[in-house]
Structure 1
Amino acid sequence: MRGMAAPLIKLALFMAITIAATGVLAISIANTNLSSTNSYSARFSDATLLLPGDDVRIAGVRVGQVEEVAIADRNQAEVKFSVAADRKLPESVMAQIKFRNLVGQRYISLTQGAGYDPNSVLDPGESIPLERTRPALDLTELFNGFKPLFQALSPDDVNKLSYEIITVLQGEGGTVENLLAHTASLTTTIADKDAVIGEVITNLNGVLGTVNSRGEQLSQLIVQMQQLVSGLAEDREPIGDAIEAIGGLATTTTGLLQEAREPLKQDIAALGTLTKNLNDNEKTVEHFIQFMPTKLSTLTRTVSYGSWFNFFLCEGSGEVSVPGLISHPINITPLPATQERCTS
């Protein structure tokens, strides 16, 4: 039994420490205040994203938490919150919803209002009226105003500058110098691009000047272009018919070429043969071309009396055969050429 007691004691101590640590961690995560607290409420015109469990702070120190957020009088928000019992709120206390970080978490900041009297305190259960509360900043409207600036910054610089803008405008101070430093850095970056921007503006001015000096011609060009487009619109049907006819012509031409392809191929091949023959008989062709005018002149004179040719026989020879009468053809001896025209 004594041997088993030591391990049991160690296990019990381990479980107790673990449970205690877990409880502390749970309380820390739940942001739960176990000390005595007093409850208050406040009216806000807008309590967007303010949730139960969010901090209630005085001068940046957490003194309580939001308990409940509900609608009151249809267009107002009533926020119930608790504050440590040892922390007394002045009757002139003011409440403002502020941004805890850029993720969107909020908290309520309590400050002393006008007419502060240390002897006058706000009793537990009382409410802070609407005129002494302020909602959170409208980040959408705020950041839209800084949109041109953010486009020139890196994401990290945007996050830093955004947070600093929020803290400055919420009156937390101490970051104006950093804000100006980032703004100065942006201004320097833009100044470095001054030459490029100036050159672009100069070139743009040159283009605009040229367009301006050609205003009349540009106007005429636009008018003529409008007339051309109008004319094309009016003649769209004839143009369409012409395009269709051109398409038909292209189709017909294609068919014609397909039918004529083989004969054309044969003609080209025959033309090669003709060219070769002419080349082989170059002297004969040259002689024919050289004496062709004289021959044509002579032939023209022979047909000057009518549609016939006159011939004078100077010499002749041949053979005559009579089937059935003469078994062998009779040779005719050459006739002598005795006339002067035949010998000249």
Structure 2
Amino acid sequence: MRFRRKTLVAIAISGVLVALAVLSYVIVPRLTDRAIVAHFPAAVGLYPGDDVRILGVTVGTVDRIEPEGTRVAVHLTVDRRWKLPADAHAVVVSPTLVTARFVQLTPAYVEGPELPDGGTIPEERTAVPVEWDKIKEQLTRLSTTLGPQPGEPGTLGEFVSDAAGNLRGNGATFNDTLANLAQATTTLSDGRTDVFAAVRNLSVLVDALSQSHAQIVAFENHLASVSELVATSETPLGDALADLDAAVTDVQTFLGENRAGVSHAVDKLGAATQVLTDRRRDLEQILHVSPTVLANLENIYQPAQNSLTGAPALTNFANPTQFICSAIAAAGEQGAEEATNLCIQYLGPLLKTIAFNYAPIGAVVGNSVGALPDQIDYSEPGLPGLMLPPLPLPGGAR
């Protein structure tokens, strides 16, 4: 009984282990691997178990290979840790003629949509190496085409004969050509930094032109419009050019006949401009004060009297106390402050009675009539009604 129980336990444990092994073989790969189907035009030399690589790093294996009419479906298994772009390509790579081949997936994933599990790479995005048999076939065909034919030396033979005839006696020239070519190559090599800089600058120029495409198109349109305008105005433009040619001829004739006079005038003009340069500060002063002088000249003109009017202003007599007391203090032997105080104390009341702004002669022109109503031009038609009424003229006239 005990033996039977041990046997059943052993059988149960074995069954569990087998189930776990099956699960690990079937389910675990599906959780850790990604299945991809790539369609190739052929799969010569590719077998199940061959590597699948990205940038030369093995990331999976070839699962199985199935023919599908004129193409071959290669089932690939790739580790899920490695992402693939949605537009991935598959290439069968043959490093040498005898080594095993592998499938290269390209390009490496950077960002964007991913190729999902069970994804397909169509034949348009796959490639296979050229087989040695095809290369040998093409080489045989080439040698047959270039080789000799019955009664003829063949294309290659004719080329060799012609080359020998052309090079015969030109060895020195050919040697000089090779030497010059080597020297030119050396010069380019020594200046490769400048060449690369020129290429980079050319790249910058091309980028700038690419970014200015709209402006270039607009410029071309304007140029086309100008060309069309010139084409439609051919006759007037020709007449204008003919007149210009005649004018240039007249100018040349004039200069030829009056060369001495023109030269003398230019010399005098140079002397005049030199005088202006020497008197630059005086001219600057004149230009600085001229606007004020002209404005004052306009202000002293009285249209009512049709004359220039003015009044002398003696500024020191507007405050005679300060003027006279300052003069006495300056001439006196006492201190300036003490003398000024004494002058103000004794002479101040008297001097205040003779203070004036204008000389006490004639009339104060500032209070006279400057212009009659019919002598005023207004900048706007509605301004006369807004102005104050004019002052009464002598005799009650307005």
Fold shared per TM-score above 0.5: no
Greater C-alpha Rg: 1
Higher relative contact order (CA 8 A, sep 6+): 1
TM-score, scaled relative to structure 1: 0.30
TM-score, scaled relative to structure 2: 0.27
